[in-house]
């Protein structure tokens, strides 16, 4: 029933409307929006660079808040790219990833290209809840050589939807980032969701425009833990590795940006 109702909703219209409200710098709009959100989700600003709600010019400015320098330590060969909960992880066999206990999907449909780079490798999916820190980082030192913003649906990406809707992450709009690392190819996919006002990478001043596919070739070195982009509301990050890795986190475990996720 939950997924059925989502199919009926004008998801893009609702998301863009929320996006417009979230960008408003009018105190009568932003202040109640921020206060209600903090109360409902019990937001703790102790780690935030700006700890007072009044310091934020808009709800989006608050939602994508940065951390105080030094509050997180980058550890391990591969660190978590974001705060969130491990929704799924495991091996990539026959170019197939697990979405939930009921559903799976292919590397090709996620990345929108046929590639054997990740067959036999590993993947991890991290779900960002509304209360989480919403900037996304690079989990290991790597060279970003291609990105592709793919328009799509805006279904919720919570566990309930993941268990009910086949191909959820391949249907939603997303930003695919392809990297070269010392251990082989890596992909980091930022998946949009309902009420997400946009996916904004660090190389753009604003979020990608909806419904317009954009592919960019580049050569940019990221150090481990360096910021890649931000979600202007909650969503999901999927990491694909060409090599088998041994994860030191488990499905259902809460993770924080910077902590090691591989042994």
In this predicted model, what pLDDT tens digit does every residue of 83-121 receive, in sequence order?
Answer: 999 999 999 999 999 887 778 999 999 999 999 999 999
Sheet with strand 199-201: strands edge to edge: 135-137, 227-231, 199-201
Strand partners, 130: none
- Tell me if residue 145 is catalytic: no
- Tell me if residue 31 is catalytic: no
Q: Could you say which of 80, 83, 122, 242 is catalytic? A: 83
Q: Could you tell me if 247 and 261 are in contact, meaning their C-beta atoms sit under 8 angstroms apart?
A: yes
- Tell me if residue 137 is catalytic: yes
Q: Could you say which of 15, 58, 235, 242 is catalytic? A: 235
Residue with tokens 């029933």: 1
Q: Could you tell me if 71 and 98 are in contact, meaning their C-beta atoms sit under 8 angstroms apart?
A: no
Task: Region of 233 please: left (phi>0), alpha (psi -120 to 50) or beta.
Answer: left
In this predicted model, what pLDDT tens digit does every residue of 28-40 receive, in sequence order?
Answer: 989 998 999 999 9
What's residue 1's pLDDT? 47
Q: Could you tell me if 132 and 170 are in contact, meaning their C-beta atoms sit under 8 angstroms apart?
A: no
In the predicted structure, residue 176 carries a pLDDT above the cut 90: yes
Model confidence at 195, in pLDDT bands (50, 70, 90)? Answer: low
Model confidence at 7, in pLDDT bands (50, 70, 90)? Answer: low
pTM: 0.91
């Amino acid at each position: 029933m939950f997924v059925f109702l989502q199919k009926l909703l004008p998801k893009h219209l609702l998301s863009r409307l929320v996006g417009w409200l979230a960008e408003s710098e009018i105190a009568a709009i932003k202040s109640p929006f921020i206060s209600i959100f903090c109360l409902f989700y019990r937001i703790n600003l102790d780690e935030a660079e700006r700890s007072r709600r009044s310091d934020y010019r808009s709800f989006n400015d608050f939602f994508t808040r940065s951390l105080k320098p030094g509050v997180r330590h980058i550890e391990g060969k591969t660190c978590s790219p974001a705060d969130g909960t491990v929704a799924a992880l495991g091996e990539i066999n026959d170019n197939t990833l697990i979405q939930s206990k009921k559903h799976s999907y292919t590397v090709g449909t996620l990345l929108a290209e046929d590639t054997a780079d990740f067959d036999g490798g590993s993947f991890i999916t991290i779900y960002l809840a509304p209360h989480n820190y919403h900037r996304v980082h690079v989990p290991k030192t790597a060279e970003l050589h291609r990105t592709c913003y793919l328009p799509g649906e805006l279904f919720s990406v919570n566990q309930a939807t993941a268990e009910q809707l086949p191909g959820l992450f391949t249907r939603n709009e997303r930003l695919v980032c392809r990297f070269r690392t010392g251990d082989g190819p890596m992909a980091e996919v930022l998946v949009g969701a309902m009420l997400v006002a946009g996916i904004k990478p660090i190389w753009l001043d604003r979020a990608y425009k909806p419904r317009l596919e954009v592919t960019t070739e580049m050569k940019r070195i990221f150090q481990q833990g360096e910021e890649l982009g931000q979600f202007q509301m909650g969503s999901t990050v999927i990491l694909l590795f060409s090599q088998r890795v041994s994860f030191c986190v488990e499905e259902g475990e809460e993770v924080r940006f910077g902590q090691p996720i591989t042994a």
